[in-house]
Amino acid sequence: MRKFMIAAAFALPMLGGAAMAQETLKIGYIDPLSGGGASVGEVGLKTFQFLADELNAKGGIQGKKVEIVPLDNKTNPQESLIQAQKAIDAGVRFLTQGNGSSVAGALSDFVTKYNERNPGKEVLYFNYAAVDPALTNAKCSFWHFRWDANSDIKMEALTNYMKSTPSIKNVYLINQDYSFGEAVRTAAKSMLAAKRPDIKIVGDELHPLLKITDFAPYIAKIKASGADTVVTGNWGQDFALLLKAAADAGLKVNWYTYYAGGTGGPTAIKQANLNHQVFQVNEGIPNEDNAPAQQFEKALRAKYDFSLFYPRAVNEMRMLAAAADKAKSTDPVKVALVLEGMEFDVFNSGKGVMRKDDHQFFQPIYISSLGERTEKEPFDEEKTGWGWKLVAKIDTPATTLPTTCKMERPN
């Protein structure tokens, strides 16, 4: 009896620990927390942690406390797979990542193969920012869901706006040399040619990802080309340093971008004195007149002193909670089946839908410019005094592009 009681005394804490573990829903956040992409990776991590706190204040997801598990991938596909396996071994069944489509492609393939080998232990991969169109076309997977508009959707919106701007005559393309950068340049050339055949592409440059520290030689080429407009998908330090070099060289052209609002971007724009000359396409802006979104924005800035760069992350986490509630389960397969075709009121305003055919989320798309604010624009960026101004809003139906996805679903 005494031996039994001693054994029971040791077993109780262990059982208690197991019970506590079961009450936690872990989400593995795989993104750069060191190296050239660390600035955007840290912002993403804190954003997801803020969202986890929001959900936990409401009781979590299906009564489970949400925990964000940070995993540094150094923007490297192979390192990402190591971190993904580490997360799965620790009981994580939901992974999220955004920075780098090369990473996203590797993760999607890894998760798909893992789930084939491990029925009953499936894992879902939630993509909040990697926008290579192939991920929801030729390389689509049942286990991958994307909340960001792919680069073709964004370029469709940008070029529709650009085609009605007669001052655009000569365009220079500069992008990062990997799958996403290739997708941006390809879409820009084909769409501009179709919509504004009079526009000349006077430069088309690819450069190494997150390795350039001085963009002065690239800016010199842009100046020499006679470009009046630059189109770039650059993000992170590759955008901030590009604009810094433009400021140093006194280059005054208009910029059409995907990620000008990322860390360091607004500061570089202000230093270059490009007042409402830098445009960004994304799924929301802080200065939209939407009371719930602005309350969230104020709370986030009060805690972390940066703006919400990822409205899509809000949609992702809130839709995960809604799908789990509808499924009455946090089982990845059951959650995935509910997410397919799910309609949702998006963070900024309007309706969004997760298309069942390819797991691409469609939502309103915004084009905005950064510069001096009016009374209607309460939020500035990075203490520059400048803020985002709405230029155009494209409703969800007009953002929908066809897919070539031939998805294999689990039995």
User: Do 192 and 143 fall within a single domain?
Assistant: no
Does any domain span residue 325? yes
In a shared domain, residues 271 and 343: no
Model pLDDT, residue 141:
98
d(CA 214, CA 287) in angstroms, rounded, equals 32
Distance, CA of 253 to CA of 277 (rounded, Å): 7
CA-to-CA distance for 130 and 132, rounded, in angstroms? 6
Q: Do 144 and 129 fall within a single domain?
A: yes
- Among residues 220, 254, 282, the one where a domain terminates is 282
Residues in the chain with pLDDT values less than 70: 1-22
Question: What pLDDT shows up at residue 20?
Answer: 39
In this prediction, residue 216 carries a pLDDT of 98
The pTM for the full model equals 0.91
Q: Which residues contact 369 (CB under 8 A, 6 or more apart)?
A: 276, 277, 278, 279, 280, 388, 389, 391
Residue 181 sits in a domain whose CATH number is 3.40.50.2300
Give the model's pLDDT for residue 164: 95
Do 42 and 108 lie in one domain? The reply is yes
* Tokens 């799924």 sit on residue: 283
Last residue of a domain, one of 362, 387, 403: 362
Give the model's pLDDT for residue 411: 79
Q: Is 195 within a domain?
A: yes
Q: Which residues pair with 229 in a beta bridge?
A: 171, 254
User: Among 218, 281, 285, which residue's Cα sits nearest to residue 248?
Assistant: 218
Is residue 12 domain-shared with residue 84, that is, in the same domain?
yes
Residue 346: name the closest of 362, 335, 360, 358 by CA: 362
Q: Does residue 100 share a domain with residue 216?
A: no
95 phi, psi to nearest 5 deg: -115, 145
Euclidean distance between CA atoms 182 and 173, whole angstroms: 11
Q: Is residue 169 part of a domain?
A: yes
What distance in Å separates the CA atoms of residue 28 and residue 115, rounded to the nearest whole number? 16
Task: Using the CB atoms, write b or e for 185-220: b if 16+ within 10 Å.
Answer: bbbbbebbeeebeebbbbbebebebbebeebeebbe
Do 234 and 164 lie in one domain? The reply is: yes
Q: Identify the domain containing residue 261 by its residue range.
A: 152-282
- What digits encode the pLDDT tens for the residues 290-309? 999 999 999 999 999 899 99
- Edge-to-edge strand order for the sheet containing 351-354? 343-345, 351-354, 361-362
8 A C-beta contact, residue 99 and residue 236: yes
Count of structural domains, the chain: 2
Of 190, 183, 178, nearest to 106 by C-alpha is 178
pLDDT number for residue 23: 87
CB 222 within 8 A of CB 191: no
